[in-house]
């Protein structure tokens, strides 16, 4: 599938003034993604990113069973070690980029079942997860204190613990 990309301003404050923080190679999408940090509010996000109308194509039921673009999303018990290593890498990369994550506000947009949110909180961050996909919300609802399910807009949830 051919995806289309667009430049985006900061999702948090709307400023269009960000600097690259690190790069990550895509798997399904053969492209290097740039993770940037807003110079006004410090929000860290991907820019450019896949256009909104094509993003749901990436997050179907197969994705949450480990058959999508990110095999680390595999929720089977035998994939737990790889999954935890990936989460540790994400937290370490954020800590390096931000200096510390202790007390930082972290938003995991597309938090799935919320495990990374939980790990960020355990590491001292003030983390919150949003899950826009129906499949992700179903997974999230099994592990969250509260989860508002909506097919039209992102839902907020707070992971237990």
Binding segment toward Zn ion, per CB under 5 A, in 39-47, 85-93, 95-103, 130-138? 39-47
Ordered alpha helix ranges (H), the chain: 61-64, 80-98, 115-122, 134-141
Residues whose CB falls within 8 Å of the CB of residue 159, separated by 6 or more in sequence, listed in order? 111, 114, 115, 117, 118, 121, 129, 143, 144, 145
Q: How far is the CB of 107 from Zn ion (least distance, A)?
A: 12
Q: Of 42 and 70, which has the nearer Cβ to Zn ion?
A: 42
How many residues interact with Zn ion (rule CB under 5 A)? 8
Residue 54 sits at the vertex; the CA angle it makes with 24 and 111, to the nearest 5 degrees, is 55
Binding of Zn ion by 13 (CB under 5 A): yes
DSSP 41: T
**Binder among 43, 60, 90, 134 for Zn ion (CB under 5 A):** 43
**Binder among 6, 15, 57, 88 for Zn ion (CB under 5 A):** 15
Binding of Zn ion by 38 (CB under 5 A): yes
Binding of Zn ion by 35 (CB under 5 A): no
Q: How far is the CB of 38 from Zn ion (least distance, A)?
A: 3
C-alpha to C-alpha distance for 112 and 151, rounded to whole angstroms: 15
Q: Of 40 and 49, which has the nearer Cβ to Zn ion?
A: 40
Q: How far is the CB of 35 from Zn ion (least distance, A)?
A: 14
Residue 157 sits at the vertex; the CA angle it makes with 153 and 159, to the nearest 5 degrees, is 155
Q: Of 13 and 88, which has the nearer Cβ to Zn ion?
A: 13
Closest-CA residue to 48 (of 36, 57, 61) = 36
Binding of Zn ion by 8 (CB under 5 A): no
DSSP 52: G
Tokens of 159: 């992971």
Binding of Zn ion by 138 (CB under 5 A): no
Residues that bind Zn ion (CB under 5 A): 10, 12-13, 15, 38, 40-41, 43
């Amino acid at each position: 599938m051919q995806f289309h990309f667009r430049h985006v301003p900061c999702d948090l404050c709307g400023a269009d003034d960000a600097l690259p923080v690190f790069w990550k190679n895509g798997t399904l999408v053969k492209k290097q993604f740039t993770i940037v940090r807003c110079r006004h509010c410090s929000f860290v996000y991907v820019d450019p990113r896949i256009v909104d109308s094509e993003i749901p194509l990436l997050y179907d039921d197969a994705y949450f069973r480990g058959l999508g673009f990110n095999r680390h999303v595999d929720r089977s018990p035998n994939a737990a070690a790889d999954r935890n290593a990936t989460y540790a890498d994400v937290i370490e990369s954020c800590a390096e980029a931000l200096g510390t994550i202790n007390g930082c506000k972290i938003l995991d947009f597309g938090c799935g079942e919320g495990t990374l949110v939980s790990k960020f909180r355990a590491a001292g961050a003030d983390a919150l997860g949003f899950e826009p996909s129906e499949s992700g919300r179903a997974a999230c609802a099994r592990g969250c204190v509260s989860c508002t399910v909506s097919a039209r807009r992102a839902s907020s949830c707070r992971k237990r613990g």
